[in-house]
Structure 1
Amino acid sequence: MRRGPLVVGTERRVWCYMDHPRAKEAVRALAIFAELIKSPLQVREYRITELSLWHACALGWGSREVLETLRDLAMGPIPYPVQEWIVLTMNRWGGLVLEKSGRRYQLVARQPLSEGVRQALQQSGLLERGGRWMVPARQRGEIKRQLLSLGYPVLDMAGHAPGEPLDIDLKEAVILRPYQEEAVQAFFDEGRHGGSGVVVLPCGSGKTIVGLAVMARYRQQTLVLTSTTTAAYQWKREIEDKCEIAPDSIGVYAGDERVIKPVTISTYAMMTWKNPRGAMPHLRELARHPWGLVIYDEVHLVPAPIFRFSAGIQNCRRLGLTATLVREDGREADVFSLIGPKCFDLPWRTVEEEGWIARAECYELRVPLDPAAEEAYRQAESRQRWRIAATNPRKLEVAAELVARHRGTPVLVIGHYLDQLRELAHRLGAPDITGDTPERVRRETYDAFRRGEIPVLCLSRVANTAVDLPDARVAVELSGNFGSRQEEAQRLGRLLRPKKDGGEARLYMLVTEGTEEVETAVRRQQFLAEQGYEYRIFAVRAGVEHAFDGVSQ
């Protein structure tokens, strides 16, 4: 029997040897039912979790498919305890089903439950009748969240109440790409996940179009929640451009504009704003409306209060859109139970190979620490050492050289620390946009960049969210938010809109050599490594051109 690239450990860890001929095949398979936790060049380490297996279940996989895949790709036998655990875990999928009988919700146990689960149901005040628990409508979301935390996912088949009707259609000129059509169909697949779930597609691949197609197919009044006011207005423009809908049916509830229309677009920040008494008036106001559909754009950024809002609106359909389900706060389970499981997921490289997003190359440039900062770095506490490394003055020189190397190409410079970003913007004579930049100025600057009037744009963490800059080809990362995998994916995503000439995009991550920043860079790259992106590492000691000697622009 031919040996594969995987080693499966007793603690549900899986190691993939990347020099094996079948390594890429193994990486694609593991992305369905495991989580990448370490991604050095030679051996990647994965972890199989309950949640990763249940996401696989939602995509139609069972324990047989997972075990057959592992056996096919493993170097040796799969430990029996791991096989047994996979079977037991995946068999719980469908063991608890939420159904609707008349006006009542019933939780039906289709397999024996542990005593702990029974006690939890009793403590929640639910009445049992012949293996069925009566669930009040107000507890529908919370019961699902609670049971998932106890190791029992609830298959919610109770359906959804129709909202107010919406007169909307896609324009005839809008043709969905094959994978967009598949994503829409997966969302409406009542047989598996009950009509609510998360669509995972790479940045630049048209997730918004999927949302519009769902709106047009469902034709119910819709609330769209976005990460920023800029993103809210982008959604408004897309709806106006691609949908047949009365202009006065679309409203933005963000910033100074606060109107509720049949299609209302708001932001997570607006929804969670608190008045001096600690109340959230905007959340309460929007929750009252009879929505038929709620769309969560950038669902990986949903803040905790929105989960509580989601728990209370289980009666309407919920569509999450994201490029990555990675959350740095560890609340992936809340997305799963309150918004929905993953119903469609397409690897980034697959979309790239089909020509729907730009080809991209990633580089990690290791820059020496400025001699003037070496002593301070050695004596500093860990967190302060990180900042010293991240704001290394040598990075400004390297960034300026990279911008010069790509003169004539639209370039984004992205940084976490504002003083560093503004200093470079001043040196380059480029505008900068930060969280303090007024919304009007942001929109004007973005538009000027799109028109080609601004060749270089410096962005703070505002670049981590849905900013549509389709012609950007190069991004230079000065600094980031520690080891955020989510942030790294979003930054590459700013470059992935397909280019008119078919050209490729380039992402440069600047890392201070010999510091803690090298270790956090490995973590930042994990999600993209899982998607098939490899960072080429170069040491920049005598200038960028010397480091890239022999590498084409």
Structure 2
Amino acid sequence: MSDEADSPELSLDAFYDALESVGRPVVTAGRLAGVLDWTQAEASDALDRLAEEDHGVERVDVSNDPVVWFPTDWAKTTERERVVVFPEHREVVVDQPTQFTRAQLAQFATLTDTTGENAYRYTVRAEDVWGAPHDDLAALRRTVRQALGERYPSLEQFVADQWRRARQFRLYTHEEGYIVLEANTPEMMGNVAEQHLSEGTIRAPISDTEAWVAAEAVATVKRELYEAGYPVQDDRTLDEGAELDVELHLSLRDYQRGWVKRFVESGSGVLVGPPGSGKTVAALGVLERIGRETLILAPGRELVAQWRDSILEYTSLTQADVAEYHGGVKEIGPVTIATYSTAGMERHRRLFDEKRWGLVVYDEAHHIPSDVFRRTTDLQASARLGLSATPVRGDDRETDIYTLIGPPIGTDWEALFDAGFVQEPEVEIRFVPWAEDERRYEYASADGHERRMLAASNPAKIDEVRSILDEHPEAKTLVFVDYLDQGDRLGEALSLPFVSGDTPHSRRERLFHEFRAGERDVLLVSRVADEGIDLPDAELAIIASGLGGSRRQGAQRAGRTMRPAGRALVYVLATRGTEEEDFARNQTRHLAEKGARVREADAEAFAGPSDSEGPQNVERE
């Protein structure tokens, strides 16, 4: 052993830094020596002194392995953020990320995995860089370096390459009125555009870098070049739709004015912001600035009615200016609000095709990639505006949203949380045991849909819902279920009305009105309340069952509580020992990515006497 007088000193901070550097909660003397450029004997002596002097470091001899040292207080390591980058795989793994780091990563990477131990894995994809909300490459580089803490040349080169790739083609309107596809170089036009575009999309070449595009083929050109890896910038000048005199009767917040400004400058885009951030109001600000006849598309009749009410309340437009087109009534006006399903039907579509719109608004734009909804993206309009709190899809087609409508425009969720415009949700996953062994055995022998339904409809969840309601007796609460039978049983057991797609429209509207008016504090709902429907002042959401691991549905249901006033509490129930555990974590991933803290705990209704102080929560950001 080396002389102690000649051995270097190891502080506790340096020890923690070494753990962070190796990315593990334990370290060997050999590994520490490599990190600090010491000899193994020096590292071993220094570690022994830390352990002997009771500095909160312990050692253990592991059978068939070297001696390892680890912190006595494990919490000290878990409280520190650690960012580990795998540049060749374009992956970033972050332990205990701060809200700042998550917000920065969300601008150029996709969250692909998360665990209950606060570990997050991000992947930097080409489409993430294409849609990065930055005006120039230098700004994007700064964001990447701030998130990762240092420079990674190969990863930064990939980001730069994809940034430039997204700026190789653009569409613009020629002074004589036809549409032109312009490439940055002749090689791009000859080797990419001409090779990948379908026959008939190009009418004739204009120069080595320009070509005349068939007007009816614009969407095809954008889609095919996107699929080839080259998103197209759409700079067309479309002067469509009769003028519309409209004034907004309220003041926009600063970030909403920013949304409107960015949209008007580009003429297309998707407003991406948390529920309650005022995307509808911002859309009305866009309507005022565009000032032309407008078509608004929404998923259902309840949303159509809400749009009509908002327009009449917040703008100078009158009832004569606003028309509805859906299964109940079919009228066309200066501002027409229609359902996607009706507007996409062949027998109605011609009416919408023939009219030239100044603005088309796609509410809940995450539906657009589906085969039925995307038919409406061929409608002619000067400007296209999408709205979505959750532009994520289970089929990985979310990039189609931006291809078909326009690039994302949004504000960091954390900034809205901090400013108090939107409540940051408190999310807890509660693991519920089986009500009886027979149910568990039935689950074990089932598979596929039946297996998912058995876990989702675990009768023990009735007691847990009741327990949560007892914990929060004054809270305005929405209880969500995905299965109608489960909803009927919950409603009967808890004496709650159940609102589903089978509920007559008039009764559904009456129950929603009673909830809005404060005449009813608890409402049991199916997927009909997942998105868009305005149910203000809800403070508590209990998700008794969900659509598999849908991140979008989890964020939408949590979003029902994310209004400026009050608390935003979300409980996600999952049957212990089933695939629902993974579903619940996946459902809350989008919220975690945006800054919400997610805890995990055992169900309160089944806690034993020793658990009187409550469960020990495992928290993940």
Normalising by structure 1, we get a TM-score of: 0.90
Residue 11 of structure 1 and its aligned partner are, at CA, apart by: 4.9
| Superposed counterparts of 1:44-193, under 5 Å | 44-56=120-132, 59-62=134-137, 64-74=138-148, 78=152, 80=154, 82-101=155-174, 102-111=176-185, 112-113=187-188, 115-121=191-197, 123-126=199-202, 127-130=204-207, 131-171=209-249, 174-189=250-265
1:451 to partner: Cα distance: 1.5
Q: Contact 2:108 / 2:144 at 8 angstroms: preserved in 1?
A: no
> Is 1:233 matched with 2:299?
no
Partner of 2:417: 352
Measure, in 2, the Cα distance between the counterparts of 1:405 and 1:240.
40
TM-superposed CA distance for 1:455, in Å, is 1.7
**Contact map agreement 1:16 1:43 (CA 8 A) in 2:** yes
Partner of 1:507: 570
1:277 corresponds to: none
2:340 maps to 1:268: yes
- 1:28-53 deviation digits (Å, cap 9, x = unpaired): 11111111111223321111112111
Q: How many residues align?
A: 528
Instruction: Give 1:446's aligned residue.
Output: 512
Q: Report how far residue 548 of structure 1 moved.
A: 8.0
Partner residue, 1:310: 377
Distance (whole Å) between structure 2 residues aligned to residue 16 and residue 548 of structure 1: 37
Task: Quote the Cα distance in structure 2 between the aligned partners of 1:65 and 1:76.
Answer: 15
Task: Please tell me whether the aligned partners of residues 138 and 312 of structure 1 are also in contact (alpha carbons under 8 angstroms).
Answer: no
Cα 1:290–1:362 shift into 2, 3 Å: same
Q: Deviations over 1:133-152 (max 9, x none)?
A: 11011111110111001001
Partner of 1:208: 280
RMSD: 2.2
Which whole-Å CA distance do the structure 2 matches of 1:290 and 1:214 have between them?
18
- 2:486 corresponds, among 420, 425, 435, to 420
Query: Could you tell me whether the CA contact under 8 Å between 2:426 and 2:569 is conserved in 1?
Result: yes
Give the CA deviation at 1:443: 1.4
The residue type equivalent to 2:556 in the other structure is Q
Decide whether the 8 Å contact of 1:425 with 1:431 is kept in 2: yes
**Following TM superposition, by how much is the alpha carbon of 1:261 offset from its aligned partner in structure 2, in angstroms?**
1.1
- Cross-structure match for 2:461: 395
Which 4+ runs in 1 deviate beyond 4 A?
A: 544-548
CA distance in 2, matches of 1:359, 1:46: 22
The question of whether the paired residues in 2 share the 8 Å contact of 1:307 and 1:334 is answered with no
Q: Does 1:433 align with 2:499?
A: yes
Higher RCO, Cα 8 Å, sep 6+: 1
Which residue of the other structure, out of 397, 400, 404, is the alignment partner of 1:334?
A: 400
Quote the offset at 1:541 in angstroms. Answer: 6.2
Which ranges in structure 2 are unaligned for 5 or more consecutive residues?
1-16, 22-80, 616-621
**Deviations along 1:406-455, whole A, 9 cap, x unmatched?**
22321111000111011111122111111112222221111111112112
- Are 1:516 and 2:516 counterparts? no
Code of the residue aligned with 2:514 in structure 1: it is: A
State, as a whole percentage, how many aligned pairs show the same letter. 32
Match of 2:106 among 31, 42, 45: 31
**Which secondary structure does the structure 2 equivalent of 1:538 belong to?**
strand
Mark the CA change 1:550 to 1:540 in structure 2 (over 3 Å): closer, same or farther. Answer: closer
Question: Structure 1: how far apart are the matches of 2:104 and 2:593?
Answer: 10
C-alpha contact 2:341 2:373 (8 A) present in aligned 1: no
Higher mean Cα deviation, 386-395 or 67-76?
Answer: 67-76
Query: Tell me, what secondary structure is at the counterpart of 1:452?
Result: coil
Pairwise CA distance, 1:26:
1.8
Larger mean CA deviation between 442-451 and 322-331 belongs to 322-331
- Which amino acid counterpart does residue 147 of structure 1 have in structure 2? L
TM-score where L is the length of structure 2: 0.81
Query: Partner of 1:507: helix, strand, or coil?
Result: strand
Alpha-carbon distance, 1:545 to partner: 10
Give the C-alpha shift of residue 285 in structure 1: 2.0
Larger radius of gyration: 2
Contact 2:295–2:337 (CA under 8 A) maintained in structure 1? yes
Q: How does 1:12-27 map to 2 (within 5 A)?
A: 12-19=89-96, 23-27=98-102
CA distance in 2, matches of 1:43, 1:52: 21
Instruction: Report deviation, 1:339.
Output: 0.7
